[in-house]
């Protein structure tokens, strides 16, 4: 377990393992593509499913992967430089610009990991919410400076990732009012200022 592997090093036959992250297949062999430790995880033998299907699966195929150890124990606080947004990853972003068609956002966190660099994304008006899409107005959903939880729906064009906030748990999670004080959500489409009590419209994410 503790021995380290380097890229190009064969780890075993492709038929014996399911390739996980950090490995690739070449000539029927599983080959490491990172420097790190080899991890094999056997999926918990879901006895219920295997017994219902009367297939003769003796032991489930283990997944093999290579992981690069991280120095700090609080791995989530260290910016992960090789992290890129992927389709269906959940991101946190800051709204930078809005117009009637879309809101432009700057992604700073992907799947609860801080990125090394900020990525640009857009939330188009049709991706703001799930229902009554044609009634959505960007102006009533986001304002520049809002912190938004969104999901990547496409890698988009050359410069923007396409994001969506269609979903209960997606939308604005932190926002300041026009006066500049913090607001708290009062329902799925409104937030209220802590100081003045002014209510502003937002596409609000469901608090956990």
Partner 1 sequence: MAAKAPDRRRNNPPSHGTTPPVFLSSASSGAVKPKQSSRPPNEIRKIFLRTGLISSVTGSSFLEIAPLKLSISVLGPRPLPRTSSTPFAAQAILTTEVKFAPFASTVRRGYVRDSSERDLGSRLYQALVGAIRRELYPKSRIEVVVTILDSEDEGDDVNTVYMEEGKTTVETKFWDAGRSERALGVVLAGCITAASAALADAGIEMFDLVSGGVATSFVDEVGLKGKGVGDAVSNKLYVRDPAIAPPEGKVPLATCVLGYMAARDEISELWISGKVGTKNGTAEMDELVDEAIAAARSARGVLNEAAKERVQFIVDKTGTTEPLKEESTDVQMTG
Partner 2 sequence: MPPPTPLSPPELSYLYTSLSLTPPIRLDLRQPSQFRPIIAECSFLPHCNGSSRICMTEAGECIVGIKAEVEKDATTKYATVIEREKWIEVSVEVAGGGVAGAGSGSGGGGGGVGIGGISGAGGATGRDEGDGGAAVWLKEGLLAGGGGAGAGWSILDRLVISSGWHWKLYIDVLLLTPTSHPSPLLLSTAVNMALSSTYLPKLTSPHDIDDIPTFSDDWAISTPLYEPTSFPKPPISLPVVAVGDNVFLDPSVAEVAAAEAGLVITLSLVDEEGSCDVVGVRSMEVGRAGGKEGERKGIGRKLLREMVGACVKEAGEVIKGLGETTQKQMFRA
159, β-bridge pairs? none
In this structure, are residues 14 and 33 in contact, taking their beta carbons and an 8 Å threshold? no
Nearer residue to partner 1 within complex by CB, 136 or 150: 150
Binding site for partner 1 (CB under 8 A): 1-2, 4, 6-10, 22, 24, 26, 31, 33-37, 39, 41, 44, 67-71, 73, 75, 81-82, 84, 96, 106, 108, 114, 116-120, 155, 157-159, 161
Q: How many CB atoms lie within 10 A of CB 128?
A: 24
Smallest distance from partner 2 to CB 19, Å: 10
Which of partner 2, partner 1, none has residue 198 at its interface (CB below 5 to 8 Å by kind)? none
Q: How many angstroms separate the CA atoms of 191 and 176, rounded?
A: 9
- Backbone φ and ψ for 157, nearest 5 degrees, come out as -90, -160
Smallest distance from partner 2 to CB 25, Å: 6
Residues 8-47 that bind partner 2 (CB under 8 A): 24-27
Q: How many angstroms separate the CA atoms of 168 and 149, rounded?
A: 11
Nearer residue to partner 1 within complex by CB, 96 or 140: 96
Strands in 190-193's sheet, in edge-to-edge order, are 183-187, 190-193, 199-201
Nearer residue to partner 1 within complex by CB, 110 or 136: 110
Which of partner 2, partner 1, none has residue 50 at its interface (CB below 5 to 8 Å by kind)? none
Residue 59's SS3 state is coil
């Amino acid at each position: 377990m503790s021995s380290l592997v380097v890229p190009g090093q064969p780890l075993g036959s492709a038929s014996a393992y399911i390739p996980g992250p950090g490995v690739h297949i070449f000539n029927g062999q599983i080959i490491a593509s990172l420097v790190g430790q080899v991890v094999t995880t056997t999926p918990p033998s879901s006895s219920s499913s295997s017994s219902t299907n009367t297939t003769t699966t003796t032991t489930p195929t283990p997944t093999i992967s290579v992981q690069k150890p991280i120095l700090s124990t609080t791995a989530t606080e260290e910016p992960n430089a090789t992290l890129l947004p992927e389709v269906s990853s959940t991101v946190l972003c800051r709204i930078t610009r809005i117009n009637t068609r879309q809101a432009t956002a700057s992604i700073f966190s992907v799947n609860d990991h801080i990125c090394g660099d900020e990525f640009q994304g857009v939330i188009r008006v049709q991706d703001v919410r799930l229902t009554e899409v044609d009634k959505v107005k960007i102006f009533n959903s986001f304002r520049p400076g809002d912190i938004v939880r969104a999901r990547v729906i496409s890698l988009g064009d050359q410069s923007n990732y396409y994001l969506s906030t269609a979903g209960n748990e997606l939308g604005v999670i932190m926002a300041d009012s026009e006066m500049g004080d913090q607001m708290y959500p009062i329902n799925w489409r409104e937030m209220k200022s802590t100081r003045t009590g002014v209510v502003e419209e937002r596409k609000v994410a469901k608090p956990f």
